[in-house]
Every structure is written in C-alpha cells, then in structure tokens.
Structure 1
Amino acid sequence: MKPVYQLLTALVLSIFLIACGGGDGETPCPPNTPCDLLEQPDPGSETTLNISLVLVDTNGNATQNVTATRPGKLIATVSGIDTATVVSFSTTIGELPITTAVTDVNGKASVDILAGTTLGAGTVTAKLDTGEFATTVVVIGASDLQMGSGNPFTSGVAAVSSAQLSAGGTASVSVVIQDANGTPFTDPAQVMFSSTCSQSSPTKAAFDTPIALVNGVATSTYLANGCVGDDPIMVTANVGGQNLSAVANINVLPANVGSIIFVSATPDIIGVKGSGMQETSEVVFQVMDTSGKTVANKTVNFALDTTAGGISLSQASAISNTQGLVKTVVNSGTEPTSVRVNASIAAQGSTPMITSQSRKIVISNGSPEISLTLVDGQGNAIPNVTATYPGKLVATVTGIDDPVIVTFSASLGELPIKTAVTDANGQASVDILAGTTLGAATATATLMTGETASTIVIVGVADVQMGSGTPFTESVAAVSLAQLSAGGTATVSVRLQDSNGNPFTEPAQVNFASTCSQLSPAKASLDTPVVLVNGMASSTYQAKGCEGDDPIRVTANVGGKNLSATASINVLPASVGSIVFVSVTPQLIGIKDAGLNETSSVVFKVMDIDSNPVANKTINFALNTSMGGISLSQSQAISDAQGMVHTVVNSGTTATTVRVTASIPATADSPEITSQSRELVISTGIPDQDSFTFYPEVLNPECWGYVGEIIPVHVRMADAFNNPPADGTAVNFNTEGGAIDASCLTVSGSCSVNFYCQHPIPTNGRSTVLATAIGEESFADINGNGRFDAGDENDAFLGINGYDGKDVEGKPYDLGEAFVDFNEDQLYNPEQTGGLPGGEEEELIDFNGNGHFEDKDGLYNGVLCAKDTNNQPHAGCANPDLGQSRSLNIREDFVIVMAGSKGVGSSIVITDSCQSGDPGCSLTVADNTNGTLDVELEAAGSVSLVISDVNNQQMPFGTKVTFSASVGEIITEDNYNWPSSNTPGGMRFGVAVKGETTPKSGTLVVETLTPHGVSTQVEVIPIVIH
C-alpha cells in the first residue's frame, strides 16, 4: 500500500472512532483548541445538537483535494437548534482565511480553505461552543503553476527591460505566474528577486524584494550599484507548496564606458488631456564620463515604456549641453496611468549601447484647485494676527474627492503644525501665531501636485505688559527674599498681562539672568528659559559665591514686542554664614481629617564661612501662609552636630501650597540670614467621583468569534481639588462579558489594564465594563472655601430648593452602591423596580458587605465636611460616630461592543433621479420603493442603508465599507472607515450614482472588510439607467 493511502486509511479510522465516541467516553478537544475554552453542554438539556462537515470544490462537489489553483470550501451543517450558531473551524494543514462562521437559515456555516505552503494530508475540524464537533480529511497537493514571461509564454525565464545597463542604471525585472491553461494566478503570494551582485558583501546591486503578486504579475526594479559584467538574476516563489523559479541576466557596463544618470521629472504628476492640470512633464538626464565628469555634445535617444492613451514625447533625441544635461518633454494622453522615459546612447564600435530610465511619472484625471483664507477663532475673515489674537489658515480644495495633504508656510509668524489633511468639506486648517517679528507676510498653501494659493498676513504688536504685584507694577519682577545667605535660594517671578489685566495665555518663553549668573564661572544660577503658564513665569535663584547686590533682568519677546522687568537680590558674604535648604518629606500631605499623613518634615543646614556645618545655632522658622490653620510644630530649633535643623509643618483645613523660611536674627556684627524651602503641597489625596475618567482605546473590537483580541483600558483620577490622588491608589475592574485585569495601582493619578476578547460573550454583543475605587462624593463648592457647607451647598448636593443635584456632566452628586449595569438602564434590577429586561443577573459591588443594594443615603460621604458650632460634622454629612461611612466606591463604566465580523444591511433608502409623473421627468418606471435605483441619462440618484453586525450593533473599529457600481459613476465618497463607537444599532452609509450617456443596467454592490480580513457582500442593488 502506498504511504499516502496508508496515511488516509489511518485518518479515516481515527475519524470513525471519534465520531462513534471511541475511547473512555470523553469527547476529545478539536486540534489546536484549548479544552478550557470550550463551554460544556448542560447535562439537563433535552436538545441534541448534531454537526457534520464536508469539503467541496468551487462547483459544490465533495472532494478531499485542495491545491493553490483549486481552493476548497468547508461546509458545516448543524441540526437540533433553530437559532443562528457560531461554528469554529481549525485545520492541521492548509490555510483558513476566516476561522468562524454563523449558521444560516438552513443550519449551514462555511469558510474557504486554501493550500498554504505545505503538501500532505491533514484533519479539518468544525466545532460548536457547546463542544460538539465533526472532522474530515483534506489533502494538499501540488498545483500546476508555472513562472515565466513573454508572449508566447516561456516558462522559467524572467523578462528584463534592458539587458545591458550603464553603471548606476536601472531596469525592471518581471515574471508571470499562470496555470497550465494560461490563466493568471490571482491568489496572494510573495515573489523574491535576487542576483549574484545583490547578494555580495558589500552589495553591488539592489532589488525591490519581496514583491506582492498582483493579477499574476510581479515586477521589481534592478539598480546597478557597482556591479560590472553579467549579473545572473533568480526569481523565486512558493505557491501552494510548489517551488517556482525563473532566471534572467543583466550585463552592467564598466564605469569607464560612461553612463546616463536620471536627474528629474518636473512635475512628476500631470493631468490627462483636457483635465485642466498641467499636461507636460520635463524629464532631464545627465551624461557622465568614466571619471564622473559631464559629457557635452552627446546624442541621447528617448523612448516611452508605454503610449497608453496617446502619451508622446516632444522629441525622440537631444544633444547634451556643456553641463552634460539633456532633456525631453512627456505629453499626457487621454487615460490615467503612469509612464517612464528610457534614455539610451547608441552603440559605437566596441562601446555598447548605454541606457538609463527615469522615475515614474503619474498621469492623473484630477484637476484640484486650492484657495486660502485667514480667519479668527470664530471663522471670521481677518487681515492680521497678534500675540493675543492668533489666527487660523484655512485651505479649501475643490476638484478632487479624496482627502489630500496640504502643506502650509508663512514668511512671518509661527505655524506650530505645517501640514493638514482635508476633511469631508475639502478644508484643511492650521493655527498661525504671531511669532517674534512684526510686519506683513505671505502665507501659502501647497498641494503635493504643485497647486498653490496664498494670502497676506499682517503680524501686529500685542498690548502685553510684564511686571508683578497687586496692584500690578510694570517692569518690576517680584522676589521672595530680597536678602539671601550664601548658597541660599529665592524665587523670582513675573506676570504677563494685557492692558485689561487679563493673563497672557499663549505659549511664550521667559528668560531670567543676573550679573552673577553670567560670570565665568557663574556665581549664581537661575532656571531659564521658563515656559509661561497662565501668564506667570517663576524661576529659582541660587547664590553660588555671589556677594552683595545682584541685579536681575527678566525678558521675553511676545508677538514682536520686547518685554522686560528687573529686580535685585542682596547676597550676604560667606563670612556671615549661611542656611541651606536640604529637604521636605513628604512633599504632599493631606488636609485635616482627610486620612492621609498630615505632617511633613522640613530640614535646613547651617554652614560657616568655609561651608562647614555649624552646631548649636538657633534658627527661627516661619510659614509664608497660614491659610486654613497651617502651623509649625516649633518656630525655633537648635542645629545639631551636623548643622542640621528641622521643623514639622502641620496641615490645615484648606488645600494650598506652602514654603518654610529659616532665619538667623541680625546681630550688631551681622545682618539677618535667611533661606527658603521648596513648595509643600497640601490636598486631600482622595479621589472623588466627578474626576473619575475610564475609557478604552477601542469601543468596538472584533471580538465575536475571535478569542484573544486585547484592548488597552485607561483610568485617570484626581481629588476634590483636581490634584492627583496619592500614588498606589487601587482601582478594581469588573466586566459583564469577556475578561479584564483585576486591578491596577495609580501613579500620578493614572493606571491602565487590558480587556480581553473571550467567553462569556453577551447575546446582544454589548458588555458593560465597570471600574471602582474607594473615594468620596463630589459637591458644588459654591463659596470656594474647599468645604462642604450646610445651606446652599447641601441643597445643591441633594437637588432641592431650585438645584438639580447633578454635577456639570449631569451626573448625581449623591450615590448609591456601584453595580455592573448589564442592560444599561441605570438601575440595579435585582432589587430596584421599573427597569428594563436583561438586568436580572446584574452584579453588585457591595461596599458595606450586607448583601443588599444600598441606594443614595442623602448624606455627603467625604472628608471635606464643614464643622458645626460644636466642632462636629453638620447634619448633611456622614458622621463616623453614628456608623456612617465617609467613603464609598466611586465608579465609572462604559459599554464595549464585542463586534461581529459579518456585515448586515437594513433600512435601505433608494432615491431615484426623479419620480415618474413629476414635471420634466422622463422616467416612466421610477418608484423609490421598487428596490431598483432608476436614473436618467447623466442624472443622479442615491442609495443609503444601515449596516450593522449580526447582533444589530456596530461593526468592528477599522472595518472598511465600500460601494462599487458596475454602471454609472459614484460621484460621492465610495469607501468609509468604521469609527470607534458603542452607539446601539448600526450606522448609515450612502452614495450618489450618476447615469451614463447611454441606457444601461447593472448593480451597486455594498461590501464590508473587517480588520481580521472577513469580507461580506452586504447588499446588491439593481441600477437601471434610462
């Protein structure tokens, strides 16, 4: 018995045993399918599911054989269930472009099987989620394909555009793959190109490789890059397990023969005749001698590689000038295509022909036009911009339907972004700022095809002032300490504002300098430049050997206006001694009763004139603010043996920042010595509800039938003062469908996890995902004191006396316990009434652990409650002494659509070009409800429809929706990319179709292609042109 039949016999016997339940009675797992992913059937179910599997050829006949030219189709038939069922397919050999399918009304589900690259026999399995499966045998055989070229076709030989090249020249190498009947092989395949010189080290020739096969043809460009003489070329491909190859040869002339070098094609995109675009392109070559010098008075011949549509040359030959340059002009034809120019010098005596080839010149049927306007933030046309009034350049492109890139430039002003893509209205825009130079300038918008438009922009002087203080003093900088000890630090700050006192909020850099900071070596340092934030810029000054008065100058150029301010710091000589700031630990503490650490240790070091530590020195401490009752544990301390001295800052009841000043009192022999700490932040550190943000990167991944898709999910939180909560705050996650990482810990207020596509998958394809963290409720701080007060703030929280009880996003302040809202009705259906169906199994996040849902309690659950006259929380707040919690689960959720791959069409709306009986309408059969698009000659009608997945939900993010018409012309956008969306139901798409000059009939085909490569023909709509 031959080996292949022995293998087939063994496979058939094993399949028979599996189908009969052979073995110990357990149902084995299908190949390559983890058993723990299979849902086990309900032992109490009385319904018996059966599944069978057959392999058929393209004519529907049963077969066991598949080749690269004869693919097959796997058809699974499911009985015992009336509803649509997902069938998963797998194979041990060959390729399955799609691995899942849904049964139709006849209980059948099918997928294609391709040959792949390995020959032999294998097993194909079709499996249900409930565990039932069926198998069949597939044999992958060698195909009858050939690789070659020419007409007539010559197998094993590749075609080359130039058999002999000058040094540095290029040529195209191409092959055709076809079957024994001469039919091109159209399945995907990669073709490899190589030569002896391209594989040398270093390489002396180059190929574009690999090349994707398109309609049976693969073409690569060969570049001579040092190769001399014959260079054997090998072209290979593996198709359906069959190794194909073809050979060719290119002879590269030595450099001493001379060469022709392609220089330019200007422009490299031209229009077809009558398009309104430029219809000619000037092509330039340069003739070189053996030493690389230009050659004059040399005759060069030109030829086109195609004359499609009547493409022609202005001249077939030319003589090189003194720079060795020679040129010709390509005249476009009537068809959109691409063309190259071949240049050659005829063979003379022992010198062979020298050739070269230009780059590709595109001939387009488009005729874009562009205009440019300068507008303000409201879209009104304006003539000028200033630092306080920036503008926007808006380019409008007409004459082309596709999005195009527009490049912007301006000889004055600043463009933070210089390119943009046109939107559906053909408009692209970028911001233009004033910059630092005044005057009038030209702004230009340019398309890649060379079309330009321009407008005048005037950059004017802004009315900005630099200064400090309240009231504001122009040209004066503020310093936190006018006198410093040696090595001490102080803050220098300025404010930029307009003539009305409004902060200047545009981006700007502010420079800080002093006399000592500019010495070499520097004897002082300043942070510079500093970016302006909300009109303020602050720099830290540190004395590093400077003594006496150190003049400080602050400068900035805003919108062409030079601004400046001055100040001075007096630095005491080192002989007096110094105080150096060492540390503040921690740098974030909580306000009173917030539950965080409420104290921070601030350390300074006392130094003598030689920078040695000074012990037993009395140091005084002071705060720069006592807002909310901030205090120091001690206002005086004595330095230890290391010169260290410290005090402790106790937080108050208000969120703020604070610094500590350390000083040594003045004596008869020395002035006062001072230094200042860095900023210490006082806040709650507890996340609150209205700052909780929870979002996925994709709302509609292709989950239905694809296990393992991963979607990153992100959380951002802040406390009641919108500062990040303490690092390490835990966030927990729950999901209705799929799976999600259990928790993450925040760093700087954020953390991320992954959502995974897997079972369970809700029947409607919509999964609610919930994130919770222990935090506090939000409230409206009407009086701005940072506390939840009785009266108006309590009314606003509860929604009484004219208030609605909701935050700026329309969400309630007062919260009940969190739960996973399966049916999206905002009610916990197991215990609340009036809800929608589908929420009976919703999962409770039981904060108090009593096993029941607790609704909102009418109290503020948080740490920022104002105290009454008895120093107790007022009646509107949760009071721990009464067993009421000051914290709860803050939460946020979203719905992720576990989208299916098959597109389904519905709600088709057909609008004929006119209705029969209307004035001027030549149609006698036009009826918008007859299912056919009827259009008059050269008139237009439209079709739109709603597309959804199999569950009437959004298709997967990134799905491509395409419309194609076999007659007429689609005059609107004909393809769309599906956005990230979880809106219930599908999405409507449509096109307009224009009739031709003669009556015709055809179809409009609507198709979807998902990111996993699943293609669906959604609808086919008849078109009749009358």
Structure 2
Amino acid sequence: MTVQLVDAAGVPISTLSGGQAGQVKVTLLDAKGNVAPNEVVKFTTDDTLLQFTPVSSTALTDASGVAVITVKPASVTAAGAVNIAVVATAGGKAVNGGINLAVGAAPLTLGTIKFVPERNGEILPAFGTALLQIPITTGNVAATTAPGLTINSLCSNDGTATLVPGALDKGVQSVTYTNRGCLRETDTITVSLGNFNQTVKINVGKANIGTIQFVGSDLANNAIVLRGSGGLGRKESSILTFRVLDQNSIGLPGVDVTFTATTTTGGLIVQPAKATSDATGNVTTTVASGTIPTPVRVVAQATRNGTTISGLSDSLIISTGLPIQKSMSLSADSYNIDGLGYDSAIAKVTVLMADQYGNPISDNTAVSFVTEGGAIATPDEGGCKTKGGGCTVDLKSQAFRPVNGRVTVLAYVQGIEDFVDENGDGVYSCKQPILANKDDPTPYRPLVDSCTPTTGERFSDQGDPFLNTGNHAIIRGNPGGNTLQRDKDPAKDRKYTSSLGDLPFPYNRTAYSVDGNQQWGLNYIWRETEIVFSGDEPTFIRQFANTDGTLRDWTAADGPVNIIAGLSGENCTNQVVYFRIVDVNNNPLPSGTTVTAGDADKVQPQSVSPNVIPATNRLGGTQHWVNIKKETNCVGGEFSIKTTTPRGKSVSSFLFKSG
C-alpha cells in the first residue's frame, strides 16, 4: 500500500490549513505486485481536526488499484498534528498504511474598515462617539475570534481619544471611538491583524475648557521672602501648579495658559508668562519675589473655541522672613523662681522675632541660648526653632547658682541690623557695595555683599553679643539700697565689661568687638533678660511714705520700726503700713508667693496689696501696703505679716503693734 496527500493539482503536500481541501491517494498492490482493483479502502483519523468526503470515510480502488478520498480541516480554527490510518484487503490479505500531516488554522483576513454611518468629512465634536466596523474572515468564513487584532490612533496615543472594542459578531468587530478633545484636527486610526494593516481617518474637534483649578505650590506655608533675603531655609520663589480641566473634569492637555500677578509691587515677577498644559492637564509657573512685602495671587487664563476661562491661586505672602534687631524680644513667664534652695524650678523663656515690616519670621529659624546659671533648653537642641515667629525654652534651677541669685539669659540668632529704608524699596540699598566676589557681575546682594555707612542707607551697627553677667558681689543683710554696682555706673550698664565677668558669644572673632564691623549685613542679633533664683526666707522691711508719694526704707529717726503711730490712743485713726519683702539677696521672693496679714488682736488689717508676689526681677524685692482699721475704742493691738511660697513654705515674722 502506498499513501499520499496531494492538493487539487496532484502535488504532494503535508499540511492543510483553514478551508483548504486535499486528497488522500492510496495505491494498492497484491503480493505479486499486481494492482488490486475493486478493493474497499477504509480511512480513519481524529475527527476533531479532519473530516472526509464522503462521510463514510471509504473508497473503492479503480482499475489501476488507486482509491481517492477528499479530506479537509474540521473547522477554520482547527490546528494540530494528525495521522490518517488506512486499512484495505489485497489478494485476500489485510494491508495497513497511513500518513501524518499538520493541520493549521485558516489565516485571519481584514476586510475594509469603515465608520458606520460613514463620516464623509464630518467633524466629530469633543466627547462625541463614532462606531468603527472591522470585517474579519478566516478561510473566507466569518471569524468568531480575532487573536492578535490591534487598534490604535494618533489621538489615543496622546491620551485624547479612546478606542473601546465591542463584540465580534458574524465576522465584524465593532469599536467605539470617543474623541476626548484631540488637538490634531484629523485622527488616523490604524488596525493591524497578522500581516494586514489598514487605516481610516476621522476629523475631530478640540474640547472646551471647563475650568482651571489651582493645585498648589511647593511651599509649606505659602510664604516667600524678599529678593535678596533667601538662604537659611528661606525661598525667594515659589512654583505654582494649575490644572486645566474639560467639561467632564478630566485633565486637558495642550492648552496654552497665560499667567499674570495681581500685583507687581517691588518688582515681583511671574515666569514663564505662558505655558502649555501637559498630558494630565497640569501647567506650572514660578513667582519670584520683589523688594517690598505684599500679598499676591496669580491668575491663570486660557481660551479655547472662543471661550475664555480663568483660575486664581491661593494668596502668597512676600516678606523677608529674616529677624531684625529692633523686632526681637525676650521674656519669661516668671522672673523670680523658687530656685535658690531648690533644683528644677522652671522659668519658661520665650523669644519673639519679626522682620523689618513687623511680619513673623520664617519658621524653623534656629535660636541659641546661653545662661550664667542653671541650665537652659533641651539636650538635643541647646536652643529652639521658631514656629509662628517665636519659640520657648525652659530655664531650670540647678548648680551653678550665682552668689547673688541673679541669672542672665542671652538669646542670639542670625538676623539683620536695624536700618532706615530711606527709598522705601523694602531692602537695604547701597551705592558702592563691597562685593563678596569681585569677579561676580551680579548686582548688590544685601545679605551676601557688604556696605559701608557712607555709601548706603543709615543703619545701627551691631557689636558682638555677650552674656551680661552683672555684679557677682554677695548682697547680704539687705543693705537698704536697691542698686548693684552696674546700676551705680550707667556707663557700664549693658556694655561689655570683662572686669565684671561678661562673656562674649559666639566666639567668631579673635577679640570681642563692641562697635561691630561698620558694615550693614547679616549679623548676630540678641536680647537678654535676668531671672532671679529666689530664696524662700522673707525679710520684711518697713517703708516710710514721703510727702511726694515716694517710698523709702524706714530709719531709726522715723521711730520704732514695728510701732504704728496713731493707731491707738487719743484721736486714733486708721493707718496704712508700707513695707517691702526681699529674700536673702535683696531679691524678690518666688513669684506666686502669697502675702497676708493675720494674727490680729484688737485691730483689723485688710488685705495686703498686692497679695501675691508678681513675676519680677526687681532688685530690692517687692513693695506692699495694708490698710489697718483701728479698734473702736482706740485700744492698742497688733498683727503680723505672713508669706507662703508656691511650695507651701509659710513664714510669719513681721509683727506690728499700734501706738
């Protein structure tokens, strides 16, 4: 038996594809080599891949001993390898044969793609849809699947059109095309399947602008500093981002947007003045500060299809952000803490700063603190960083304690020296600057270059900061005076005097400079305050009221210190007693200490005024008075003064008697 697979022309083949038909040709000989006519030949195979004609799968050999049957793939999608087995009888003997072949699916073929109904040059408006139909056949039969089919367009690649496939029905693939505001005017759609490619064009319209939204800036607090005031964490410009949206609130690319500022005060500029939105509709510009502080907003505007839309940014604040000496202050919630005899008494020390226009300085400005006694700030910073123009640290009582109980706290920070803005341009102006880099052609930069007093605006030169430690002399026994050595010598007050223990900070020079460098610029500015480590043992010192209303300490010439004349006896009257209270160092008792009059006998002391020791570092303690009502019959009596500290220590040691 000889088995062959041939095509319609009789050419041997080994493959059948799609709707292609072939013939299985069998030649049958008997044992002697003679042809075997009129013998039945039976064909069998995998009927999921192939089918025979006739369907009986049998054929009769002709006079030449040849039997032929037609075979083709079971479907246009059938694919695989298969064997055709052949069985026959020749000369009374069974004969077997067969042949192997490959079955391939019929190739997919594209028909003519078109829009239904046809567009005929009609413009598809933004967000309009059109139906595209793609005929697909396989072996001249309508395809039921279309693997490898790809559809795209220029606008869909831009993100301004979508192509959404629908069902493949009766060999036609439907695709919904949506114009999402394509800017190309004409879109080219390409369909590919295997080796087939087809294109079709459609005219499209641009989308109208729905709105322009302000997205935000690269700033955390919407504030930039004046031109020339940058550095130290401060920015002179801000990047603003807007988003152009269509009527469906989808980002609209390719839109030209112009930017203008609501003010150009001080030379403020917006660059670029025009930009084009990106694929997501975002567009950016930069605001650069001028030389005068001002609030500003930026207007973004665009026109499309005859419609103009505008968007407005949030308000930006233009200020220096640099502290100036005149606007720096230092304060404490208590200037007299119970720290002479105790550790860990706390005074909260607050520094506040502003720029030359009174605006709070930039957040996170670092402030350094030093003190001659106790401990200040935290171990991780040794100072504080500003928030909202100020910051607070703790001064804690501990060793070292100055012998007079008076502790100086110094706060210093890099800032600018006081100046008079004579031309009103918002920055220090200089006609002949001293350039930091002589080869740099950049115009005068106030915080980089320097200026002498004769060529620039008037300014107050700032000397080096120093810790004003005052007089360390021991003040014991309450000498009756209210002044220290420094107070007696006004020339030394708040002046660097090394003989009195003053310490320069920071150590940025070979020698301390009282008068500064005679140049305006960035420098250390500072403030100091004095906080008392108060004792809790009071001394009561009676005072005499002068006719002019002033008070002085009681003397022997005024009579016995504890006798209140006129409070008893003939023609007695109500009296007022004046006194001051000091600790062992002639300083105030701790703030919050209460002062009361009690232990009264036959007289009626009223409430002491003030009845609480205030927050004060006044040398000589605090002054008080109390009204005493006489006994009805002018009988002599007595009462005492008592203090109670916030820690609860009470002392009653000033006993007054009527006389």
Q: What TM-score does the superposition give when structure 1 sets the normalisation length?
A: 0.36
> What one-letter code is carried by the residue in structure 1 that aligns with 2:362?
A
Change in CA separation of 1:837 and 1:1007 when aligned onto 2, cut-off 3 Å: farther
1:183-203 Cα offsets, whole Å, 9 max, x none, are xxxxxxxxxxxxxxxxxxxxx
- Does residue 844 (structure 1) correspond to residue 504 (structure 2)? The answer is yes
Q: Distance in 1 between matches of 2:345 and 2:315?
A: 46
Deviation at 1:780, TM superposition (A): 3.4
Query: In structure 2, do the counterparts of structure 1 residues 720 and 930 end up closer, same or farther at CA, with 3 Å as the change threshold?
Result: closer
Q: Residue in 1 aligned with 2:242?
A: 604
Q: Deviations over 1:932-971 (max 9, x none)?
A: 2243355233432222111111111111222236433235
Q: CA deviation at 1:781?
A: 3.3
The residue type paired with residue 512 of structure 2 is F
Task: Give the letter for the 2:461 counterpart.
Answer: D
Q: 1:542-581 alignment to 2 at 5 Å?
A: 575-581=208-214
Which residue of structure 1 aligns with residue 550 of structure 2? none
Q: Distance in 2 between matches of 1:836 and 1:700?
A: 25
Q: How far is 1:657 from its partner? A: 2.1
Q: 1:759 maps to what in 2? A: 399
- 2:583 and 2:339 map into 1 onto residues whose CA distance is 11
Shift of 1:782: 5.0
Contact 1:1001 1:1022 (8 Å CA) reproduced: yes
Structure 1 counterpart of 2:227, from 592, 598, 601: 592
Question: Please, which of 928, 933, 940 is the counterpart of residue 574 of structure 2?
Answer: 940
Q: Deviations over 1:221-277 (max 9, x none)?
A: xxxxxxxxxxxxxxxxxxxxxxxxxxxxxxxxxxxxxxxxxxxxxxxxxxxxxxxxx
* Whole-Å separation in 2 of the counterparts to 1:972 and 1:705: 32
Matched, 1:785 2:425: yes
Contact 2:602 2:638 in 1 (8 A): no
Counterparts in 2 of 1:974 and 1:781: CA distance versus 1, 3 Å: same
The C-alpha deviation readout for 1:514-551, integer Å capped at 9, x for no partner, is: xxxxxxxxxxxxxxxxxxxxxxxxxxxxxxxxxxxxxx
Distance 1:602 1:836 in 2: 49
> CA 1:949 to 1:589, structure 2 compared with 1: closer, same or farther past 3 Å?
same
Q: Give 1:822's aligned residue.
A: 469
Give the one of 605, 617, 632 matched to 1:982. Answer: 617
Aligned position for 1:724: 360
Judged with a 3 Å threshold, the aligned counterparts in structure 2 of structure 1 residues 929 and 678 are, in CA distance, closer, same or farther, namely same
Structure-2 residue corresponding to 1:104: none
Q: CA deviation at 1:896?
A: 0.6
**1:840 positional shift:** 3.1
Identical columns (%): 30
Tell me which amino acid in the other structure corresponds to 1:578: T
Q: Quick check: 1:798–1:813 contact (8 Å CA) kept in 2?
A: no
> Using a 3 Å threshold, how does the CA distance of structure 1 residues 630 and 838 change in structure 2: closer, same or farther?
closer
Alignment of 1:661-672 (within 5 A): 661-665=299-303, 669-672=305-308
Distance 1:978 1:622, change over 3 A: same
C-alpha distance in 1, partners of 2:496/2:412?
24
Query: Partner residue of 2:373?
Result: 737
* 2:271 counterpart (633, 637, 643): 633
Shift of 1:693: 2.2
Q: Distance in 1 between matches of 2:335 and 2:621?
A: 14
Measured at CA, do residues 788 and 998 of structure 1 come closer, stay the same or move farther in structure 2, by a change above 3 Å? same
Relative to structure 1, is the Cα distance of residues 602 and 703 closer, same or farther in structure 2, using a 3 angstrom cutoff? same
Give yes or no for contact 1:728–1:746 (8 Å, CA) kept in 2.
Answer: yes
1:612-1011 alignment, distance < 5 Å: 612-665=250-303, 669-741=305-377, 742-782=382-422, 784-789=424-429, 813-823=460-470, 840-846=500-506, 849-857=508-516, 859=518, 878=520, 886-909=521-544, 928-931=558-561, 932-934=563-565, 935-937=568-570, 938-964=572-598, 966-970=600-604, 972-974=606-608, 976-998=611-633, 1000-1011=635-646
- 8 Å CA contact 1:734, 1:769 repeated in 2: yes
- What amino acid is aligned across from residue 821 of structure 1 in structure 2? N
**Amino acid corresponding to residue 337 of structure 2 in structure 1:** P
Amino acid of the residue matched to residue 929 of structure 1?
G
- Bigger Cα Rg: 2
Q: In structure 2, what residue type is equivalent to 1:778? A: D
Q: Label 1:704 to 1:653 Cα distance change in 2 as closer, same or farther (>3 A).
A: same
Give the Å deviation of 1:576. 4.5
Aligned to 2:27: none
1:835 to 1:751, Cα distance in 2 relative to 1, 3 A: closer
Q: CA deviation at 1:642?
A: 0.8
Please, which runs of 5 or more residues in structure 2 have no aligned partner? 1-206, 432-450, 472-484, 547-556
How big is the shift at 1:833? 11
Superposition map of 1:419-568 within 5 A = none
Gaps of 5+ in 1: 1-573, 792-796, 806-811, 860-876, 879-885, 912-926
Deviations 1:604-633 (A, max 9, x none): 112222222222222222222222222222
Q: Partners of 1:626 and 1:604 in 2: how far apart?
A: 20
- 1:835 and 1:789, CA in 2 relative to 1: closer, same or farther beyond 3 A? closer
Residue 779 of structure 1 and its aligned partner are, at CA, apart by: 2.4
Q: Alpha carbons of 1:834 and 1:599: their partners in 2 closer, same or farther (altered >3 Å)?
A: closer
**Which secondary structure state, in structure 2, belongs to the residue aligned with residue 653 of structure 1?**
coil
Give the aligned CA root-mean-square deviation in angstroms: 3.4
Instruction: Give the aligned residue type for 1:583.
Output: G
Say if 1:759 and 1:677 are closer, same or farther in 2 by CA, change over 3 A. Answer: same
Q: 1:950 to 1:826 in 2, by over 3 A?
A: closer
Structure 2 letter corresponding to 1:853: Y
* Partner SS for 2:623: strand
Q: Distance in 1 between matches of 2:287 and 2:628?
A: 75
Question: Equivalent residues in 2 for 1:78-477 (5 A)?
Answer: none
Letter in 1 for 2:612: N
1:854 is aligned with what amino acid? Answer: S
* 1:584–1:677 Cα contact (<8 Å) kept: no
1:572-594 Cα distance to aligned partner (Å, 9 max, x none): xx954332221122222222211
CA distance in 1, matches of 2:495, 2:210: 75
- For 2:513 and 2:296, locate their aligned partners in 1 and report how far apart those are by CA, in whole Å: 41
3-state DSSP of counterpart to 1:646:
strand
Partner of 1:905, secondary structure, is strand
Kindly indicate whether the alpha-carbon contact (under 8 Å) linking 2:464 and 2:516 is maintained by their aligned counterparts in 1: no
Q: Which residue of 1 aligns with 2:164?
A: none
